[in-house]
Amino acid sequence: MNKGLLFVISGPSGAGKGTIYSRVIQKTGMKRSVSVTTRQPRMGEVEGVDYYFRTEEQYQQMIAAGEFLETAEVYKNFYGTPKAPVFENLENGHDVLFEVDVHGARSIKKKYPEAISIFVMTPDFEILEQRLRARGTETESSLKTRLGAAKRELGKYELFDYIVFNDDIEQATQEVLDIVTAEKRKVKNNITAIKTLLGQN
Ligand code: 5GP
């Protein structure tokens, strides 16, 4: 069996990466990675599904115990990806999909260079601002912070293998699915299957 592939979806907050992420998980059955965070749950968010919500003290203990693949501070809260379930899935041939901020994408690429990274962006910054406002979860100052961060994040384009412009959510989701399919069809990701066909295993 070939190892699973690790995909990372990233991009500025408000670009729609969370929605695309959920849809891709739904359509492919790929394994999701549930992050740990110290931020407060939003309305409707469920422990163990959206995040594992932890206190800062609990979070620091997890860092000390080396439980994270990567951890980052985003807008004064901590976010981290638990390591063990990811490697277990990959070893068992399951593809894994992450949704992380751009710092997280960089840490993952560093630790796991085979990761396939996809940057999700709106067609322009005005649309990003409209979407952040429409979400209604940000104060004026956190909105400004997020817009400033979005520019810096796009500036890190060299970290990414693909970019998807999210104008229409259906099309953007389809484009991510197409990227997943193309990566899965690469010969180097099918060596075991090919060798089995050739009777070389
Ligand atoms: P939110 O608070 O809106 O759910 O997420 C804020 C930011 O944290 C988003 O950009 C999201 O992608 C990022 N994020 C969520 N989980 C992780 C994680 O495990 N690691 C990192 N580095 N960023 C994360």
**Percent of the chain at pLDDT above 70?**
100
Cα 186 to middle of ligand 1, angstroms: 29
Q: How many angstroms separate the Cα of 18 from the Cα of each of 21, 23, 27, 101?
A: 5, 9, 14, 11
- pLDDT in the model for residue 11: 96
**In this predicted structure, what is the pLDDT of residue 2?**
84
Residue numbers of the chain with a pLDDT score lower than 70: none
- Would the CB of 149 count as within 6 Å of ligand 1? no
| pLDDT tens string 106-148 | 999 999 999 999 999 999 999 999 999 988 878 889 899 999 9
**Distance between CA atoms of residues 186 and 129, nearest Å:** 37
Q: pLDDT value at position 136?
A: 82
User: What is the pLDDT, as a whole number, of residue 101?
Assistant: 87
132 lines ligand 1 (CB under 6 A): no
Q: 97 alpha carbon to ligand 1 midpoint, in Å? A: 13
- Distance in angstroms (rounded) separating the CA atoms of residues 84 and 88: 6
81 lines ligand 1 (CB under 6 A): yes
Residue having the nearest C-alpha atom to atom 2 of ligand 1: 39
- Give the Å distance between the CA of 99 and the centre of ligand 1: 7
